[in-house]
Structure 1
Amino acid sequence: MRGRTVELPATIERVVAIDDGFVEGLLYRWGMQDRVVGLGGTWVQDYTYAFEKVGGTTYEYKNGMNPVSYLIPELADLPVLVETGTAINYETLASLDPDVVILREGAWAFSAGSDEALKKTITTIDSLGIPLVILVGPPFQESPTIDHIGEEIRLVGEVFSHGEDADALASYLDDQIKEIRKRTADIPESEKPRMMQLGLSPRARQGGGAGMAWGGDTIESYFIENIANAKNAYKGTGAFVVVSTEQILALDPDVIVLPTAQGYHPASELYTAPYCQNLQELTAVKNRRVYALPWTPFNWAKRLEYPIEAMVIAKAAYPDRFADIQVHEWVLDFYQSVYGVDTATAKELRSVQWLDWMVEAGF
């Protein structure tokens, strides 16, 4: 997506992926995961989170992972070339002698910050004589949309001579979104629930707020309004916007979804944590319409699992329209279709994305 032709070796054996697992997931699908020799970002961690509920009992969540971290544990041993807020370590990059570098704009591992910074990165990598392929994730598109993710998949497919399968995968992911849109297309404006993506980030509390919100100009709002055809209760702009208890109570959403926000946040946290007790009069809380999205650390640009988020949001908004879909079973088929894994591995992926609550809730 550089707007020019990039010459690549006939055989690509060594890959540096400066992204958050998007490329690595595709390479796993194609049985080429051992070709990755360097990473951008520390997203391969094994995560643990805990919170206390009223009364002092502690809930603990262990072994949360990016699905690709579970599928390719060897990634944890690879050198990391860049972390958020730092420049790429070009000396390490050169020492890895990659056949290609694939950089995804918008990923947490690489947020250029400006066109000038991106141009400098491109110039430096070009000066090393390393072929560079650039993908452009949703945060760097002109407007928030998932429409270009299929193009990214197809481009990576061309690079690794898997164009036909890349096209099939992109079509499969798009079909999941089309199914959601088909089921919600005719909802009258007056019947659309007001939804809020509420980040229960500890950083929000440290800053004097009660949570974080995402405005109408974000990819998060796009999932609510454009895909699920509901209403974003928060009418502001921007991402990770710290909001107060008073603001949240005034918004009073019908449905709340809890994303990854400097930690994993289950519905039980909003219901029982001491620091959430001032939010118990919210309509969504009283009606028990609070749902946790999958654990997706470093997911600014959205990865191959984005239809899971879309399906959880859609069913949370319109349970009657999706009564025939048990998402906890649907997601197993999804993992098997995307990664080619067996049922047992699909269940493990569901667990590491902390989605087993869906089994318990019959969601």
Structure 2
Amino acid sequence: MRPTHTLLLVFVALVLAAVCAGCTGGGTKQVDAVSDTPVQSESKIVTDMRGLDVSIPKDPQRVVVMADGMVESVMIIFGVEDRIVGLPRTPKNYVYNYTSVVANESYSYKNGEYVPVVLYPGLRDLTVVGREVPNYETIASLSPDLVLLRSGSCSFPDYQTDENSKKTVETIESLGIPVVLLSAPECSDRPDLENLYREIAILGEIFDREEEAGQIVDLLTEKVALIDERTRDVPDADRPSVLFFGLSSSDRKKGGVGNVRGIDTPDSYFLEEIVHAKNAFRDPGRHTLSVEQVLTLDPDVILLPTSSGYHPPRELYESEPFRCLQELKAVKNRQVYALPWTPSRCGTRLEFPIDLMIAAKGAYPELFSDIRICDWTLEYYSDLYGVDEETAKKIRSAQWLDWTVEENF
């Protein structure tokens, strides 16, 4: 361990010891001498995704969450969102603008938010503990009885490969605070959905909501099966090519026109194994491509993921930086589709079936002619979160999916 790391631990221990020394009795709860965390008389063992048995309170009440949406969403469904006391950062309200050279006017997309904030605005008021390498004094000051870390989220890189992530876990545990590690599908060599389902099951075990966790997994499985069953028998020769095309301004600064996602990414895996379409870009990794490279790929369908901002199809059709791509088949045939606005999307979230359904309907419109995405999303939000139609529409707007209404998609 580095000297500075050791000094930090000593400092935190001294601060907490001083806090404990200044506390007087009167309460009925015991307090851990290291972490100042209320100690419940009963505990239970949960096996996390490191394969470690972690002793946690039987009914955790103060939880620090280091994730970017999935864990918070599940806790909201469970009805325990008020137990979250700390997050890696304050959720933002996003705005995105672009100018159309065709219409000669600017467009502004406002109030883009991540779904948990729509459902529980109180998340904005929680203490920020920091990302990747958090502020340990801040975490300790919250007196949490549990820390949930999601490996593979934007706030906490892959625990298996990132040394800072390992040190973060070790440091928090050294403060006497139990850590349960979850692992997003993005962390596995074969990024299937079993990781996500296992994460949900563990959260159900932690909060004594196993039945609700099973219902979430059943709903996700049902939506995935619907898409898989309709497309799995499409002959390989008839499967359209689909390009995940990020319209990031940073790529243009590098001399490219956008970025693409290769065959080893979760997006590609879900596209090819569930939607049964072909990723137009056949190399691994994520890359910035030139105009010439994109024109050479010439995909049948283009999907616009969250990439340094939200990007509607009209931007690709009408804005100046992309006039050079107007000869692409997908552009000429108007088969460009925006995926839901999902800020800081590093780990798969509960809204992933919407991404899959947009991809499936875009790739195979005839197989999904009975499904209108604008209605299907409302039903999905209602089934998943148990919300009314008005709230479901708010979520759809926050994910900037109102284009599906405008285009009757």
The TM-score bracket by the shorter chain reads over 0.9
User: 5 Å matches for 1:1-363?
Assistant: 1-42=49-90, 44-54=91-101, 56-83=104-131, 86-112=132-158, 114-239=161-286, 241-363=287-409
Please give the alpha-carbon distance, in whole angstroms, between the structure 2 residues aligned to 1:41 and 1:196.
32
Please give the alpha-carbon distance, in whole angstroms, between the structure 2 residues aligned to 1:200 and 1:130.
42
Q: CA deviation at 1:344?
A: 0.6
Q: CA deviation at 1:223?
A: 2.2
Deviation digits for residues 138-182 of structure 1 (CA, Å, limit 9, x no counterpart):
221122222211111010000000011101111110110011000
Identity of matched residues, %? 47
The amino acid that maps onto 1:247 is Q
The amino acid that maps onto 2:264 is D
Please give the alpha-carbon distance, in whole angstroms, between the structure 1 residues aligned to 2:185 and 2:293.
28
Please give the alpha-carbon distance, in whole angstroms, between the structure 2 residues aligned to 1:122 and 1:109.
13
Unaligned regions of 5+ residues in structure 2, if any?
Answer: 1-48
Q: Which has the larger radius of gyration?
A: 2
Q: CA deviation at 1:115?
A: 4.6
Aligned residues: 359
Deviation digits for residues 288-336 of structure 1 (CA, Å, limit 9, x no counterpart):
0000000001111111111110111011000000011111111111101
Deviation digits for residues 230-277 of structure 1 (CA, Å, limit 9, x no counterpart):
0000011113x1111111000000000100000000000000010000
Q: CA deviation at 1:209?
A: 0.7
| 8 A contact 1:218–1:238 mirrored in 2 | yes
Please give the alpha-carbon distance, in whole angstroms, between the structure 2 residues aligned to 1:89 and 1:11.
25
Moved over 4 A (4+): none
Q: CA deviation at 1:112?
A: 4.7
The amino acid that maps onto 2:360 is A
Please give the alpha-carbon distance, in whole angstroms, between the structure 2 residues aligned to 1:347 and 1:133.
34
Q: What SS class does the counterpart of residue 157 from structure 1 fall into?
A: helix
Q: CA deviation at 1:11?
A: 2.2
| 8 A contact 1:20–1:41 mirrored in 2 | no
The amino acid that maps onto 1:131 is P
| 8 A contact 2:59–2:206 mirrored in 1 | no
Q: What SS class does the counterpart of residue 341 from structure 1 fall into?
A: coil
Choose 166-175 or 143-152, whichever is displaced more.
143-152
| 8 A contact 1:228–1:314 mirrored in 2 | yes
Deviation digits for residues 325-356 of structure 1 (CA, Å, limit 9, x no counterpart):
11111111110111111011001101110001
Q: What SS class does the counterpart of residue 148 from structure 1 fall into?
A: helix
Please give the alpha-carbon distance, in whole angstroms, between the structure 2 residues aligned to 1:26 and 1:116.
28
| 8 A contact 1:41–1:108 mirrored in 2 | no
Please give the alpha-carbon distance, in whole angstroms, between the structure 1 residues aligned to 2:269 and 2:227.
13
Please give the alpha-carbon distance, in whole angstroms, between the structure 2 residues aligned to 1:142 and 1:251.
26
RMSD: 1.2
